[in-house]
Structure 1
Amino acid sequence: MGIIHDVRKLTDLSYLNLYQLHATSIHETPVVYNVASRAKNVEKLKLKTHENMADGVIIYSLYGERRDRVVLVRQYRYTIDDYIYEFPAGLVEEGEDFHATAVRELREETGLTLELVPVEEGYEKPYFTTIGMTDETCATVYGYASGTVRKDEQEDSEEIEVVLADRQEVRRILREEKVAIMCAYMLMHFLDETKDPFEFLNY
């Protein structure tokens, strides 16, 4: 196992910061490694706390009387200078339970109301998003969405189109569009018309 000797905060921003660590690898090679993190300071980095607290939440929700559509957002992202399909998602505020975050974020991004589906911890606990670059973790929340799509609570910095996609549209999206990988895996489950999309949660 490597040994971390020193960690320094390189930026001081609101939602994401860059940290640089100096270490020695298991092969006794000096290592300089940069990590992006939601942590506000060095002491709150997961490499310090070793706690798996959710930084964000991803919302997999079904829509319609037959629950045969999935709620997606088509969002412009500066990192690729293009649009990408994702599940609605957002950051957990300090002291906020991530289930409450999911309800709030779905309303803010889409105008829809979320009815949570209770699941075992292994299906919703925080998992690491891109561990090679960041210590960020996201929990996944499942539920049924209802109501009318609205955009009045979206932030001015966001460019989001709400998409209520049926299976035919999901097939097209996976084939033709840019899609976030966590969303893509779940959409592959959704495509099986012979099963309830949430059937796997009962395993």
Structure 2
Amino acid sequence: MGKINSVKKLTDNKFVNLYGVDATSVHDTPVSYFVASRAKCVEDLKLSTGENHPDGVIIYSVYGEKRDKVVLIRQYRYTIGGYIYEFPAGLVEPGEDFHEGAVREMFEETGLKLEPIKVAEAFEKPYFTTIGMTDESCATVYGYASGEVSKAAQEDSEEIEIVIADRDEVRRILKEERVAIMCAYMLMHFLEDEEVFGFLGEI
């Protein structure tokens, strides 16, 4: 196993920072690595704590009387200089349970009310997003959305369109649009499962 010799914080930003890692590989060669993290300091990095508390939450919810539509957002992202389809999502605030964070973020981004459903821990626990670049992890909350779509609670820094998509539109999105990978995998379930959230009963 590799060995981490030292870690240095390289930036001082509000939401994400870059850390430099000096390490030695399992083959006894020097390694210079960079980690983007939501952590505020070296001591809070997951490589320091060994813990995995969710930085954010992703919301997979269905909408409508027949629960046959999925709630998506189409958001402008500076990382790609364009729009991408995602699930509503956001950061978990300090001391906030991620289920509560999901309800809050759903309302802020879409104006909709989220009713989370109870699922096995294996389906909702935090998983790492892009481990080659960041220690960020996100939990997933599943549920039913209701109410009227609204942008009133969105932040001025956000550029988000709310999309309520049926299966035909989901097929088009997957074929033609940019889609975040975590969202894409769940949309594949949405297309193929006769019972929405049916896969959640497998563990």
Place the TM-score, normalised by the shorter chain, in its bin.
Answer: over 0.9
- AA paired with 1:186? M
**Cα separation, 2, equivalents of 1:2 and 1:48:** 15
**Cα separation, 2, equivalents of 1:181 and 1:156:** 26
Map of 1:73 onto structure 2:
73
Map of 2:172 onto structure 1:
172
Structure 1 residue 23: Cα displacement: 0.5
**Cα separation, 1, equivalents of 2:94 and 2:127:** 18
Write out aligned runs for 1:12-161 (5 A).
12-161=12-161
Deviation by residue 1:84-112 (Cα, 9 ceiling, x = unmatched): 00000000001100000000000000000
Gaps of 5+ in 2: none
1:162 lines up with 2:159 in the alignment: no
Give the secondary-structure state (helix, strand or coil) at the position aligned to 1:169: helix
* RMSD (Å) for aligned C-alpha atoms: 0.6
Map of 2:183 onto structure 1:
183
**Cα separation, 2, equivalents of 1:119 and 1:190:** 17
- AA paired with 1:91? L
TM-score, normalised relative to structure 1: 0.99
Deviation by residue 1:169-193 (Cα, 9 ceiling, x = unmatched): 000000000000000000000012x
**Cα separation, 2, equivalents of 1:77 and 1:30:** 35
**Cα separation, 2, equivalents of 1:195 and 1:17:** 42
**Cα separation, 2, equivalents of 1:186 and 1:5:** 39
**Cα separation, 2, equivalents of 1:94 and 1:189:** 32
Q: Percent identity?
A: 72
| Structure 1 residue runs of 4 or more that deviate by more than 4 Å after TM superposition | none
TM-score, normalised relative to structure 2: 0.99
Structure 1 residue 196: Cα displacement: 1.1
Structure 1 residue 197: Cα displacement: 1.9
1:196 lines up with 2:200 in the alignment: no
- AA paired with 2:15? Y
**Cα separation, 2, equivalents of 1:48 and 1:84:** 33
- AA paired with 1:198? F
Give the secondary-structure state (helix, strand or coil) at the position aligned to 1:133: coil
**Cα separation, 1, equivalents of 2:59 and 2:195:** 17
Give the secondary-structure state (helix, strand or coil) at the position aligned to 1:191: helix
Map of 1:11 onto structure 2:
11
